[in-house]
Amino acid sequence: MTAVRAGHAVRQALLRSGERRLLTDATGNSRTGHALAMRVDRLAGMLLDRGLAHRRVGLWFWNSLAAIEAFLAVEWIGGTRVPVDPGAAPEEARAVFTAAQVDAVLCDPEHAGSSAGALVHDDGTELAGPPVWPDLSVEGSQTLVLYPRSVVEGQLLGVPISYANWAAIMELNLRLYREGSYGPPIAEDDCYLTAQQLMHGTSLVGTFPFLMMGLPQAVARRFEASELLPLIARERVTTALMVPGMVTRLTEAAERQQSVALPLRRILYGGGVLPTAEMKQAMRVLGAEMVQLYGRLEGGWPLSVLGAAEHRAIAGGDERLARSCGRPIPETGIRLRPLAGREPGEGELWVKNRMVSEAYADAEGWCSLGDIMWQDEHGYLYYRGRLDRMINTGYHVYPEEIEEALRQVPGIAGARVVGEPTGAGSEKLVAFIVPEPGADPAALQGSALSWLGSRLARYKLPREWRVVDRLP
């Protein structure tokens, strides 16, 4: 595979932007393209001074300008980013960093006390060394992002995204924006909202593509619908990526604050379908085009798109596509491998493209996603379930990790976590627990929830609990 200069393309894009303001947070802190490049240069220089070239670096940040600098600096030095959700419990973060064998951890001040020896970087505590620019050569197959899914029995389940995979994802999203596949074709006055946490799909689809295009973005520390509305209005935000539940909460908040005029042009969403009633409400209240994306980190983001025209047709009463996740993008080949006991036309989805993680590909480059799909005569895909136990809450949750933690709770003899449909296009986590003889069933839920809350990110906590005599 061809070698690349790590970080060179994005740095050149930042320098081309010059004194244009590219990043702004809710407090008014900002970075021009030139200032952002210089700060990343200095941070990368510090990392190189510590011998971290081509090494694994853990990242543990709430969204911030400094977080984006840290993500870029690891790329500058030809390293591998190992991000952890900022809402993760300290024990979970330590388990990920240990299992991933990181050589250092970069974090913000809020996470510093929970990660011994971590390097702290933020606006007030800039880590700086002799400035360096991206000049390190890496093989395209080298891992740029090791995305953690879960840690079970000390073993990390993660998705390695290579430098070549990352470049293909950036290239694809730039094309989709420019050609109008994401609603109106991108314009010079467009502005992105980074509100979902940076480690998730928002960075692949928006944060870094917008930097590559030299276009501005507003950075929210976390998703709080009512707090986002003033930021969207002030920074003239036109574009955002969210999971369906976030779209609904933003719509409800905007409806309560009717005096706030929103400049939104396109709302991209993924992680599940948006119920028709909520989709229509969002289009009416937010005034934006809606576009659904379907993707998997191991196979590419996105793999299929249900565009603005289809959403307008659904809103107009044609609901044939309301449960679809769109048509495959031209860059992706697909196969539906037949499965015993499934309906005719349903099959296991396999994909092939430049975004596929080599670790998940067969000898011919095809990747099984574990999703069961059906495709209609017009090429639209419909999600029908999973081959494994992964649960889609809007985020992908692997229940084995939760079950392992529950089995350590005093009074619990057995545990099983499943996903149950919410009726809103996603699933909720439901925990079944078997109490030990003599244990107080009424007290187990509280102790179990407290135990999990100290060990796992909030999105991995069950929403319902059921005490049973035997596991389903």
Choose the weakest-confidence range: 45-59, 66-80, 88-102, 435-449.
435-449
User: Looking up tokens 């960075």, which residue turns up?
Assistant: 203
Cα 84–Cα 393–Cα 245 angle in degrees, nearest 5: 100
Residues 23 and 154 in one domain: yes
206, part of any domain: no
Residue 440 belongs to a domain with what CATH number? 3.30.300.30
Neighbours of 320 (CB within 10 A): 12
What is the per-residue pLDDT for 133?
A: 86
| pTM assigned to the model | 0.89
Per-residue confidence (pLDDT) for residue 45, from 0 to 100: 97
Q: Say whether the peptide bond before residue 83 is cis (omega within 30 degrees of 0).
A: no
Q: Does 98 or 2 have the greater pLDDT score?
A: 98
pLDDT, the chain, mean? 93
DSSP symbol at 35: H
Least confident window among 145-149, 288-292, 346-350, 405-409: 405-409
Tell whether 33 and 45 lie within a shared domain.
yes
Whether 426 shows a pLDDT value over 80: the answer reads no
d(CA 100, CA 154): 10
Q: Which of 330, 358, 388 is where one domain is finished?
A: 388
Q: Give pLDDT, residue 302.
A: 97
Least confident stretch, 118-122, 303-307, 336-340? 336-340
Domain boundary among 164, 184, 200: 164
Specify whether 303 is located in the same domain as 404.
Answer: no
- Judged against a pLDDT cut of 90, whether residue 8 lies above it is answered with yes
81 confidence band (pLDDT: 50, 70, 90): very high
Sheet strand arrangement including 367-375: 333-338, 346-352, 367-375, 381-386
Q: For 111-157, write each residue's pLDDT tens digit.
A: 998 877 899 999 888 899 999 988 889 999 999 999 999 898 899 98
Write the CATH number for 113: 3.40.50.980
Distances (CA, A) of 70 to 51, 160, 399: 16, 19, 30
pLDDT per residue over 240-283, tens digit each? 999 999 999 999 999 998 766 799 999 999 988 899 999 999 99
**140 assigned to some structural domain:** yes
Q: What is the pLDDT of residue 398?
A: 85
Residue 280 near residue 315 (C-beta atoms within 8 A):
yes
User: Can you tell me the distance from the alpha carbon of 266 to that of 268, in angstroms, rounded to the nearest whole number?
Assistant: 6
Residues 317, 304: Cα–Cα separation, whole Å = 23
Q: How far is CA 330 from the centre of its chain?
A: 23
- pLDDT for residue 58 is more than 80: yes
Question: Are residues 63 and 93 both part of a single domain?
Answer: yes
**In the predicted structure, residue 32 carries a pLDDT above the cut 70:** yes
265 and 124 belong to one structural domain: no
445 pLDDT exceeds 90?
no
Over range 198-212, report the average pLDDT: 96
> 442 lies in which domain range?
392-467
* Alpha helix positions (H), 179-332: 201-202, 208-213, 225-234, 244-256, 276-286, 308-315
One domain for residues 151 and 246:
no
Mean pLDDT of 403-430: 86
Structural domain includes residue 154: yes
Positive or negative, the CA dihedral 113, 114, 117, 123 is negative
Looking at the structure of the chain, the number of domains it has is 3
Residue 425 predicted with pLDDT over 70 = no
Rounded-to-integer distance, Cα 449 and Cα 406, Å: 9
Burial call 201-229: b when 16+ CB within 10 Å, e when fewer: bbbbbbbbbbbbbbbbbbbbbebebeebb
Q: Kindly indicate the confidence band of residue 345, based on its pLDDT and cuts at 50, 70 and 90.
A: confident
**pLDDT of res. 421:** 82
Kindly tell me if the per-residue pLDDT of 43 is higher than 90: yes
Nearest to 433 by CA among 450, 409, 453, 458: 409
Quote the CA–CA distance of 419 and 92 in Å, as a whole number: 21
Same-domain check for residues 380 and 417: no
pLDDT in tens, 367-397: 999 899 999 999 999 998 888 778 888 777 8
* Within a domain: 201: no
User: In this prediction, what percent of the chain has a pLDDT beyond 70?
Assistant: 99
Rounded CA separation 73/77 (Å): 7
Contact 403, 283 (CB under 8 A): no
From residue 211, alpha-carbon distances to 44, 153, 218, 416 in Å are 18, 39, 12, 43
Residue 363 sits in the same domain as residue 382: yes
Distance CA 148, CA 71 (A): 15
Residue 40 in tokens: 């990343």
